A = this chain, B = another copy of it.
Amino acid sequence: MDLRIPVDEQDRTRIVPETIRRADRSPHNRYGNRPTMKDVAARAGVGLKTVSRVVNGEPGVTPETERRVQEAIEALGFRRNDSARVLRKGRTASIGLVLEDLADPFYGPLSRAVEEVARAHGALLINGSSAEDPDREQELALALCARRVDGLVVIPAGDDHRYLEPEIRAGVATVFVDRPAGRIDADVVLSDNYGGARDGVAHLIAHGHRRIGFIGDMPRIHTAAERLRGYRAAMEDAGIPVADSWMSLGVTTPERVRSAAEEMLSGPEPVTAIFTGNNRVTVTVIRVLAEQSRQVALVGFDDLELADLLQPGVTVVAQDAAALGRTAAERLFRQLDGTLVTPERIELPTRLITRGSGELPPAD
């Protein structure tokens, strides 16, 4: 389609001289060749600012003028360029979300909750996955800052976030979720990983278990470390000394988790119960246990879809991913409001959901 103004339309314009319009219309090599307010103004025969006023619903435009402008907008398929607007206004009405893996079912509801809050505040969500790589987290977070997002919700992969200091000082609202920020003072929203794990393990102990295994993620990940700490605390509370061979920490690939589980289930004194440190681990361990001849008790951190339909149902320590996201996003916008000043650390409670697997008695 030819976006240039037909000659009969041009005649309607009043003040702007022919040459200027011609120059502006000349085909330029820029991508898109989109109509701008200038084009709309020329076509409607009004000034630039009048178009701006119409587009933004500002008062002080006669109905007749407004109609002409609307008509031109329609005819040209004009859409305001928010990039330019942002440059002028300072705020982008968008927030960034750096998470670990968009495909992880735990982060789905979390992202969704963040999005809902953003939407309620008229903001868009830009997000990316760090894949648990601190460099990638930093790269992403800074790229988002370069886009001048108003705020940043970060699920940290690394443990040093001083690189965000200039951004925060420059006014980028920042909230960390799921794991704490490293070496900077910032808002943090967490689950009670320590307490949840301790409760889960204590639950197993209450059902008679003493040899209890723990399979978790790499200990440099805060949640993994906290859950391990909860495990240790529960065992210590019960006066049970923990054998090193009962604990396995590392990447949560199915292969490693499988061999870790198989190992602690073999030997002369196998564990009679396993506490799993996150949903990925739980899934793999369920598979391993399904192949075992004897029954092994299981409590997992994080809930699973269908967990109630397995035989036995899977007892879990559930965290509320949506609440984490919602809380974080709400704090973010309160920072932007100015309602919130002092960084805080918020811990949301977890919930033990008993379904059978955690109530199995020890096999021996």
Contact = CB atoms under 8 A, between A and B. Distances in A.
Interface of A: 1, 30-34, 77, 79-84, 86-87, 90-92, 94, 101-105, 107-109, 111-112, 115, 119, 124-129, 142-148, 165-167, 169-172, 283, 286-287, 290, 304-307, 309-311, 322
A332 to B, nearest CB: 15
Query: Taking each of A1, A86, A167, A170, which has the highest tally of chain B beta carbons within 10 Å of its own beta carbon?
Result: A170
Contacts of A101: 112
Given A86-B83, A306-B304, A129 B112 contact: yes
A36 to B, nearest CB: 11
Contacts of A82: 143, 146-148
Given A33-B170, A77-B170, A145-B79, A111 B119 contact: no
Contact of A147 (B112, B124, B142): B124
Given A129-B112, A311-B311, A105 B305 contact: yes
Given A145-B79, A146-B81, A309-B290, A30 B90 contact: yes
B77 A148 contact: no
A234 to B, nearest CB: 27
A280 to B, nearest CB: 10
Given A170-B77, A283-B305, A115 B86 contact: no
Given A79-B145, A103-B112, A305-B305, A90 B170 contact: no
Contact of A91 (B31, B80, B103, B307): B31
Given A82-B146, A129-B112, A32 B171 contact: yes
Contacts of A1: 169
Given A82-B148, A304-B306, A128 B125 contact: yes
A258 B125 CA distance: 35
A81 B148 CA distance: 7
A172 to B, nearest CB: 8
